[in-house]
Structure 1
């Protein structure tokens, strides 16, 4: 299959960079910048039906220790608050994906949040030029059902 025909049958193919993340509240109001004003991240969809996503807040604080590897034993000596801050401002997962109309299902195999492993995360998508908007179903967040909307822009070579 040529690259052109693959792109026509799968418009998500490629790598996208995160532009914004917002939350839609039950009353329809929007909370912008739920992951900081300028979140940083990428999502990639491959022709082999593999996907990976990684994103973080842009205002993450550095750790107090000179930690350069997650395999360092020194990471265990960091203050708990720093570890919570680092974990709660970063998200990543990878696995396979399937398309169904304007819906993509991420079949999670590895994740920064261990509870997601083995789960299916469904997202609806809308394409607009070189941007794609992915929306979650209503998700219970702090006792409120919110829809999260992430806008991604295609990374051009």
Structure 2
């Protein structure tokens, strides 16, 4: 076998290893924004009360369903629902039912754009459309962590009773 041929045969595995190492290195250098892009499945939403007690979110229950979408163009969409929602009374039989929150109780949905602040580890959802009109035009700032295929959002809000609580949403990347 010629020297050139041995050199080429020897360099192919070396080049492959360098390529693999280069790819792994490139993945570790991805920005948080790049790692967030994709489709995420909601696994849980918990509430930490002012007392420190952590409970399941009363609106979504013990096994919520949901999808969170982020695209590379900066668009996002979130839909979440409680699995054991009850059927409302027919709107046709009771026109006032259209304003009854029971129709949407246990469901939340909004869409818009997003920005990531890597230094603060925050993501801000700029709401352009929402199930709830009072949310239109609002910015929802969330703290986030990414650990492999786990994505966590955390934010502070008011409970139904008016006390401050911290809500934590755990998502898994869908493949």
TM-score interval for Structure 1 and Structure 2 normalised by the shorter chain: 0.7 to 0.9
Aligned counterpart in structure 2 of residue 37 of structure 1, from 62, 76, 92? 62
| TM-score, normalised by the number of residues in structure 2 | 0.74
Which is higher, the Rg of structure 1 or of structure 2?
Answer: 2
Deviates more, 1:140-149 or 1:30-39: 30-39
List structure 1 runs of 4+ shifted beyond 4 angstroms. Answer: none
What CA RMSD, in Å, does the superposition of the two structures yield over aligned residues?
Answer: 2.2
Aligned counterpart in structure 2 of residue 120 of structure 1, from 136, 139, 146? 139
Alpha-carbon offset, residue 143 of structure 1: 1.2
More strand by share: 1
| TM-score, normalised by the number of residues in structure 1 | 0.82
In structure 1, list runs of 5 or more residues that go unmatched: 66-73
Aligned length: 143
In structure 2, list runs of 5 or more residues that go unmatched: 1-25
Aligned counterpart in structure 2 of residue 26 of structure 1, from 45, 50, 60? 50
Alpha-carbon offset, residue 31 of structure 1: 1.0
| 1:109 corresponds to 2:128 | yes
* Alpha-carbon contact 1:49-1:98 (below 8 Å) kept: yes
Alpha-carbon offset, residue 28 of structure 1: 1.5
Per-residue deviation, residues 117-154 of structure 1 (Å, max 9, x unmatched)? 00100001111221111011x21222110011010010
